[in-house]
Amino acid sequence: MHLWRYKLSLRGYRAMILQHMIFCLLLIHRGRPLIVVPLRAVVATVGEEVVLPCHVKPEMNANGMRLEWARPDLTPGFVYEWADEKEHVVNKQPSYRGRTSVVKEKLEHGDISLKISNVTISDEGIYRCLVPQVGQEAFIKLIVGAVSFPKVTVISKTSSRVVLQCESAGWYPEPELLWLDGEGNLLSAGPAETLRGPDDLYTVSSRVTVEKRHSNNITCRVQQRNTNQSRETHIHVPGRFHDEMLHMPYVKLLWFLIMLHDIFQSRPGL
Among residues 85, 119, 144, which one ends one of the domains?
Answer: 144
How far, in Å, CA of 260 to CA of 252, rounded? 13
Does 167 share its domain with 138? Answer: no
Does 68 share its domain with 96? Answer: yes
In a domain, 228, yes or no: yes
Does 83 share its domain with 138? Answer: yes
CATH code of the domain in which 224 resides: 2.60.40.10
**Where is average pLDDT lowest: 103-107, 121-125, 219-223, 259-263?**
259-263
Does 46 share its domain with 136? Answer: yes
Among residues 121, 144, 167, which one ends one of the domains?
Answer: 144
- Residue 189 predicted with pLDDT over 50: yes
Does 158 share its domain with 217? Answer: yes
Mean model confidence pLDDT for the chain: 84
Does 158 share its domain with 119? Answer: no
Q: Please compute the mean of the pLDDT values over residues 19-44 and round it to a whole number.
A: 71
- Region label for 44, one of left (φ > 0), alpha (ψ between -120 and 50) or beta (otherwise): beta
Number of domains in the chain: 2
Q: What is the pLDDT of residue 170?
A: 95
How far, in Å, CA of 92 to CA of 85, rounded? 17
Q: Encode pLDDT of 136-156 as tens digits.
A: 999 999 999 999 999 999 999
In a domain, 202, yes or no: yes
Amino acid at 179: W
- Residue 254 predicted with pLDDT over 80: no
In a domain, 125, yes or no: yes
Identify the band that residue 212 occupies on the pLDDT scale cut at 50, 70 and 90: confident
- Residue 263 predicted with pLDDT over 70: no
Does 45 share its domain with 138? Answer: yes
Largest CA distance in the chain: 97
Highest mean pLDDT among 15-29, 98-112, 151-165, 178-192: 98-112
In a domain, 166, yes or no: yes
- Residue 26 predicted with pLDDT over 70: no
Does 231 share its domain with 140? Answer: no
Does 57 share its domain with 132? Answer: yes
Does 78 share its domain with 57? Answer: yes
Cβ atoms 137, 50 nearer than 8 A:
no
Reduced to 3 states (helix: H, G, I; strand: E, B; else coil), residue 240 is helix
Identify the band that residue 158 occupies on the pLDDT scale cut at 50, 70 and 90: confident
Q: What is the pLDDT of residue 123?
A: 97
Does 49 share its domain with 137? Answer: yes
- Residue 29 predicted with pLDDT over 60: no
In a domain, 246, yes or no: no
In a domain, 157, yes or no: yes
Q: What range defines the domain where residue 199 resides?
A: 151-238
In a domain, 44, yes or no: yes
Q: What is the pLDDT of residue 242?
A: 47
Does 39 share its domain with 127? Answer: yes
Residue 180: other Cβ atoms inside 10 A: 16
In a domain, 176, yes or no: yes
Among residues 118, 144, 170, which one ends one of the domains?
Answer: 144
Identify the band that residue 21 occupies on the pLDDT scale cut at 50, 70 and 90: low
